[in-house]
Amino acid sequence: MSTVAGAVAQVATAGAQVVAVGIGGPVLVGAMRKVRCRIEGRVGPPIGQPLRDLRKLFAKQRMQPDRSSWVFAAGPVVLVATAVVIAAIAPLATDGPPLGRTTDFFAVVFVLLLGSVFLALAALDTGTPFGGMGSSRAMTIGALAEPALLVALLAMSIPVRTSNLPVLVRSGLDHPQLIASPERILALVSFLVVILAESGRLPVDNPETHLELTMIHEAMVLEYSGPDLALVTLGASMRLTILLGLLVNLLAPWGIADRPGAAAFAVGLAALALKVAVAGIAIATFEVFTAKLRLFRLPELLAGAFVLAVVAAVTALVVR
Amino acid sequence: MSDLSLVITAAAGCVAAAAGGALPARTRVPVAVLLTWVACGAGLVGAVVVLRTGHPLVLSTTRVLPLTGATLVLRPLGAVFVVVTAVVAVAASLSWLGYAGHGLSTRTASATVPIFVTSMLLVPAAGSVATFVWLWELMAIASLVLVLADQRTREQTRSAAQWYAVMTHAGAAAILLALVLVSGHAGGQTFAAIRVHAAHLPGAVRSAAFLLAVVGFGSKAGAVPLHVWLPKAHPEAPGPVSALMSGAMVNLGIYGIVLVGDQLLGGGPAWWWLVVSALGVVSALFGALHAATSTDLKRLLAYSTTDSMGLVLIGVGASGLFASTGHPAVAAIALVSALLLVVNHAAYKGSLFLSAGSVQMATGTRDLDQLGGLMRSMPVTGGVFVIGGLAIAALPPLNGFVGEWLLFQSLLHGLPTSSTAVAIAVPLGVGALALTGGLTAAAFVKAIGVGFLGRPRSPGAAAAREVPHTMQAGAGLLAAACVVLGVVPMVVLPALERAVAQVVADAPARGVTSSVDLRLHGLRGELAPGLLAVGLALSVVVVLGFRRLAERRFYLRLPVRRAEPWGCGRELQTARMQYTATSFAEPLQQVFDDVLRPDRDLTVSHLAESRYYTEKIAVRTSIDDVIERDLYRPAISAVYGWGRWAARLQNGSVHRYLAYGLVALVVILVVIV
Amino acid sequence: MSGPADGSALELLSGVVLVCAVVTLWRRSLSAIVKALGVQGVALGAVALVLGVAHDDGVLIAVGCLVVMAKGLAIPALLGRVVAGDPDSRETAPVVNVPASLVAAGALTFLAYGATAPVVALVPTAAGRLIPLGFATLLIGFFAMAARRKAVSQITGLLLVDNGIALVAFLATAGVPLLVELGASLDVLLAVVVLRVLAVRMTSKFGALDLDQLRELHD
């Protein structure tokens, strides 16, 4: 009986987390946009506008290029599906995996990569030069960001001798000195740069642009309309939320639910929302004062992140 | 009883070869394929028995090789490779059935394919130096004949075969030298005898033998800088043969290194394994980079074979390193990950090469810049290629992901805490691993996207039709293996652990517990690939349901509209406006310009009347293999130059030649006196 | 029944062999060279006969007769016919001129003495002290092959080498098995036959037997 109840509780927790991320994602994007506009001296659209945009998009007709195959239709679905899976198993509001027994950081990274790869494939399926352009640039950035990401992961895993995400988060709760250690901080800075690269924020990619010279993510999704575009936008915002949630939980895990029970979970969700909002506003403020980097300057940025991650890993090894 | 399986394998192979050479055209290939299946099946049965019971199969006879005797000993490590080869051979020969009228149905080819397969099946079972060398040479010669089977008259095929012949025989010479060195000192040529005496060999002899073995077997596995034959020979061979070579033959290079390093020499100092790992890192990076910038489909696959084998070498090197520093548990995990990478590589590379062969047969070209739009006309082949591509990019829920996870875990947990040099080298190594993963993902997005998606870029691609069912089935079999190994890797892990127990002393019995999820024994690391796969499938269903609900909630449903994509206001959207493989790889090529050093040729031709008017501007860029251009070609020209200089000694005068003899004789006598 | 008479007979005959070898280096006329070869062959056979009589070995006596007939009579006759066919039968411009060749022959004889010292130590009989002469003949024959232009001179050198080996064999072991001797003789006979054919061809093509003309064929 308790196992069934336990299973139901787990599913409920996971579902709640998914819904929270699904709704919180667009809200986060809206908040970031609002902050940018306010700093720039404009009023800007309301915070809930992305949700309204989604509703509008679901009402429009779906379109596919006439020569495309199933890959084009599968792209948005896989993108959102991967984000849903990660939202269900990552320690965002609770410090144990909401569903299942284990969540490996490596698995999280690669499931998200699956989503990106499918989107890149779908972009090539459109048969337009924009699709190829966005896909080519996105895969280049992804390839260059992976070393920084995995070495940062390694640096964070070495002190606790495991790459299990819940253990990483819980170790921060139990031993705050692990968070203040140079290896964790450097690794998280590197992780932040990778998040900016993977979710297409400045200075890597401008999410508001539609100029050929500057598009990366937008070029990939140019052909989508209606529910497909809604899914793509939702998926992108969910990925940003998840990555920022992981970042803040590794940096400042306080408030996360470490006991079972609905009250603790609610507190955890609230804490997550607060922390992610703070992170998002900080990023938006940074974006106002920064310009987009040339595509061929990005390897320098990502190499810098890689070097930081290597320094973090070496510190972790030597100190231990 | 199970000893018979090896005999049946050999016998079936010989009969298949005879049948392939003797029968008339219509029955030649099916009979040869059937008998090859019998050989593979027998080998599979014997290997599975060995893996389940742990008892080796021993077969020894002096009738086959009269001077030295033939000894076959199949132990768990070799059994893993036999299983891999058998499965790939079954799929490749299935594809061969459909590969009609393309050069693989001649008498020579039909007789050689069974010989090739049988020799590959028996090499891991060889138990003495003579047997091993005979089978190795047989395999090399058979594969050489098969490389020339298709399109024999093309200049590129002949040049590729030349490179392949020279390098594979140079490698075989190195291997022979290593084995003879070891067996000469040990005084017996069976592997068991060598193992017994190995501990008494002087250190210099052991290291020399190991390095020679690494050179010879590394060349076969495609390790940089001995890989130059791979991107030449694998594309020129016909589809099924490429799959056999890349999916089964290169694995035997890895088997050889583990054989000599662990089995024959009984392990060695740490620097041996550092050399292997360094070789692996360089191969992985180099192969991934060239795969990402290659525009020939099969050359891309060949370079990514170098990449995969580099990863395996990293695992093997890490395992040896951990074993020599006294961490057997992590060493076992590292070796399990290396073997799992080998099994995975066979599955996805085999399916990729078979699909590429299908594409070449259907469109007549391998050039990615001429392909496109094949997913609609060849859905099965395209689907198989997508599965293979996602698998090799190490994406869940397929098998590549599990192998890479295991490798990463072994590196994470095995980091020794002693020296600062290692503390810097390992994160850089992990970074290199990650970069190769990213480059491989880019390479295969390019291969799938430019090759199969979008619009056809040439008439050949536009006219493509799906290939015969047998070819689809062959590739599909290996793709299904990718999926199965990704969702339930537990089916192979116990067998791999048994093989590893043979190699790593004091390895724990179940280093990687596998019931529903993978759990590392004694270390904190867990992965649930099956649950992940189920979760992904469920999420897709959930998302589709959500989309349907949302559509219905907010509007009445309209059907999907298919229309011309947005062209920025252009009237005509042609296939030529799409991104080609060259343009896709261009950002990466620019980033890695110093490593790739492409050839750029710009010629501007002017009108005859006036130099102020240009008639034509031609740009040609090509990316050559840097190692071939800067290491091999100068060496070859140096040899030619030396030969030309030495030819001056031969001026045609008989007296000069006789005088040479006289002078030599006098010198010798003077020395004696 | 070996006595000082046999010993001095052997010395005389071995000396004749060596002197004939030097004569082939000295004389320019090809017919004189061939005659010297004939004398050398007879002397060689005589060595075998003397040794056979001294050791009472019938086989050795038979071998001696065979050698006299083959190397002393038959081969020089064949070579003579080749020389007769060549209009210009003088070695006019050798690679190494005659005085230098003679000096070289002396040097090679010294070398032979030095190199065969261990062998002489192995064979303590009187015959054993003459082994260096056979070896010197061998070296002089090799030198003749390298230093002379005409094709006939090449075969002369080969024959000198063979004679030197045979002399060493007779002196060291008091004879060789009949079979070996037969085999060696057959080889030499074949070589001479080949040369006859080659000489005919060369004469018809170049009009002369100068081996260096073969360089025209070089690329």
**Nearest one of B353, B546, B373 to B449, comparing CA atoms:** B373
Query: Are the beta carbons of B176 and B274 closer than 8 angstroms?
Result: no
Provide the token pair at B670.
């003077």
Q: Is the pLDDT of residue C175 over 80?
A: no
Taking the C-alpha atoms of residue B72 and residue B3, their distance in angstroms, rounded to an integer, is 10
Beta strands B599-606 and B614-622, pairing class: antiparallel
What's B564's DSSP letter? P
Taking the C-alpha atoms of residue C64 and residue C176, their distance in angstroms, rounded to an integer, is 11
Q: Is the pLDDT of residue B142 over 90?
A: yes
Residue C115 contacts B, CB cutoff 8 Å: yes
Query: Are the beta carbons of B254 and B221 closer than 8 angstroms?
Result: yes
Residue B658 contacts C, CB cutoff 8 Å: yes
Provide the token pair at B581.
């493989």
Q: Is the pLDDT of residue B551 over 90?
A: no
Say how many C-beta atoms besides its own lie within 10 A of residue C112's C-beta: 23
Specify the pLDDT at position A42: 93
Specify the pLDDT at position B28: 84
Residue A36 lies in domain? 2-319
Higher pLDDT, A216 or B310: B310
Residue C88 contacts B, CB cutoff 8 Å: no
If you average pLDDT over residues C150-176, what whole number do you get? 83
B453/A121 CB distance under 8 A: yes
**Number of C-alpha atoms within 13 angstroms, CB side, residue A134?**
32
Higher pLDDT, C158 or B305: B305
Residue range B651-672, pLDDT digits in tens: 777 778 888 888 898 898 888 7
**Nearest one of A229, A37, C133 to B551, comparing CA atoms:** A229
If you average pLDDT over residues B215-244, what whole number do you get? 92
Give B-chain residues touching A121 at CB under 8 angstroms. 386, 445, 448-449, 453
Give B-chain residues touching C114 at CB under 8 angstroms. 669, 673
Specify the pLDDT at position A177: 84
Query: Are the beta carbons of A132 and B579 closer than 8 angstroms?
Result: yes
Residue A127 contacts B, CB cutoff 8 Å: yes
- Helix (H) / strand (E) element for B602: namely strand B599-606
Query: Are the beta carbons of B524 and A26 closer than 8 angstroms?
Result: no
Name the domain count of chain A. 1
Residue C104 contacts B, CB cutoff 8 Å: no
Specify the pLDDT at position B60: 81
Taking the C-alpha atoms of residue B132 and residue B120, their distance in angstroms, rounded to an integer, is 11
**Distances in Å between the alpha carbon of A33 and those of A83, A93, A287?**
22, 24, 10
Residue range B57-97, pLDDT digits in tens: 888 877 777 777 788 888 899 999 999 999 999 999 999 98
Q: Is the pLDDT of residue C4 over 70?
A: no
Residue B532's SS3 state is helix
Specify the pLDDT at position C1: 44
Query: Are the beta carbons of A127 and A68 closer than 8 angstroms?
Result: yes
Specify the pLDDT at position C122: 82
Backbone angles phi, psi at A27, to 5 degrees: -65, -40
Could you give the ipTM of this predicted complex? 0.94
Residue A236 contacts B, CB cutoff 8 Å: no
Specify the pLDDT at position B670: 87
Taking the C-alpha atoms of residue C75 and residue B636, their distance in angstroms, rounded to an integer, is 51
Chain B nearest CA to A39, separation (Å): 33
Taking the C-alpha atoms of residue B406 and residue B517, their distance in angstroms, rounded to an integer, is 12
Say how many C-beta atoms besides its own lie within 10 A of residue B8's C-beta: 16
Place B203 in a pLDDT band, splitting at 50, 70 and 90: confident
Alpha helices (H) in B54-154, listed in sequence order: 76-98, 107-122, 129-147
Q: Which residues of chain A have pLDDT under 70?
A: 1-2, 320
What's B66's DSSP letter? T
Residue B60's SS3 state is strand
Residue range B98-126, pLDDT digits in tens: 887 666 788 888 889 999 999 999 999 98
Residue A214's SS3 state is coil
Backbone angles phi, psi at B394, to 5 degrees: 60, 45
Q: Is the pLDDT of residue C2 over 60?
A: no
Taking the C-alpha atoms of residue B207 and residue B271, their distance in angstroms, rounded to an integer, is 10
Taking the C-alpha atoms of residue B526 and residue A103, their distance in angstroms, rounded to an integer, is 8
Taking the C-alpha atoms of residue A261 and residue A269, their distance in angstroms, rounded to an integer, is 12
Specify the pLDDT at position C216: 66
Taking the C-alpha atoms of residue C28 and residue C96, their distance in angstroms, rounded to an integer, is 12
C215/B658 CB distance under 8 A: no
Taking the C-alpha atoms of residue B106 and residue B211, their distance in angstroms, rounded to an integer, is 40
B563/A318 CB distance under 8 A: no
Beta strands B561-563 and A63-65, pairing class: parallel
Work out the widest C-alpha separation in chain B, in whole angstroms.
110
Taking the C-alpha atoms of residue C79 and residue C85, their distance in angstroms, rounded to an integer, is 10
Provide the token pair at B271.
């620097």
Q: Is the pLDDT of residue B496 over 60?
A: yes
Specify the pLDDT at position B258: 92
Residue C145 contacts B, CB cutoff 8 Å: yes
C139/B666 CB distance under 8 A: yes
Q: Is the pLDDT of residue B414 over 80?
A: no
B665/C115 CB distance under 8 A: no
Query: Are the beta carbons of A295 and A302 closer than 8 angstroms?
Result: no
Provide the token pair at B45.
């049965």
Residue A293 contacts B, CB cutoff 8 Å: no
Provide the Cα torsion A162, A165, A166, A168; round to 10°.
Answer: 60
B441/A132 CB distance under 8 A: no
Give A-chain residues touching B535 at CB under 8 angstroms. 85, 88-89, 99-100
Say how many C-beta atoms besides its own lie within 10 A of residue B123's C-beta: 25
Provide the token pair at A259.
């006991």
Taking the C-alpha atoms of residue B402 and residue B520, their distance in angstroms, rounded to an integer, is 13
Query: Are the beta carbons of C27 and C143 closer than 8 angstroms?
Result: no
Give A-chain residues touching B587 at CB under 8 angstroms. 136-137, 140, 295-296
For A252-303, what is the HEC assignment?
A: CCCCCECCCCHHHHHHHHHHHHHHHHHHHHHHHHHHHCCCCCCHHHHHHHHH
Gap between the terminal Cα atoms of chain B:
67
Backbone angles phi, psi at C164, to 5 degrees: -60, -45
Q: Is the pLDDT of residue B242 over 60?
A: yes
Give B-chain residues touching A65 at CB under 8 angstroms. 562-565
Give B-chain residues touching C154 at CB under 8 angstroms. 654, 658
Chain A nearest CA to B541, separation (Å): 8
B653/C215 CB distance under 8 A: yes
Chain C nearest CA to B662, separation (Å): 6
If you average pLDDT over residues B193-199, what whole number do you get? 82
**Gyration radius of chain A's alpha carbons:** 19
A127/B565 CB distance under 8 A: yes
Residue C121 contacts B, CB cutoff 8 Å: no
Query: Are the beta carbons of B182 and B202 closer than 8 angstroms?
Result: no
The C-alpha angle with vertex C53 and arms to C47 and C55, in degrees rounded to 5, equals: 100
Backbone angles phi, psi at B374, to 5 degrees: -85, -15
Give B-chain residues touching A85 at CB under 8 angstroms. 532, 535-536, 539
Buried b (16+ CB within 10 A) or exposed e, B248-282: bbbbbbbbbbbbbbbbbbebbebebbbbbbebbbb
Among B residues 634-653, those touching chain C with beta carbons less than 8 Å apart:
651-653
Closest-approach residue (CA) in chain A for B575: A127
Residue C153 contacts B, CB cutoff 8 Å: no
Bin B224: left if φ > 0, else alpha if -120 < ψ < 50, else beta: beta
Residue C120 contacts B, CB cutoff 8 Å: no
Instruction: Compare CB distances from C145 to B653, B658, B670 and report the shortest one's residue.
Output: B658
DSSP letter for each residue of A176-245: HHHHHSHHHHHHHHHHHHHHHHHTT-TTT--TT---TTT-SHHHHTTT--THHHHHHHHHHHHHHHHHHH
Chain A nearest CA to B523, separation (Å): 8
Closest-approach residue (CA) in chain C for B660: C146
Closest-approach residue (CA) in chain B for C215: B652
**Nearest one of B53, B118, B41, B52 to B83, comparing CA atoms:** B41
Query: Are the beta carbons of A184 and A309 closer than 8 angstroms?
Result: no
If you average pLDDT over residues B428-442, what whole number do you get? 91
Chain A nearest CA to B569, separation (Å): 13
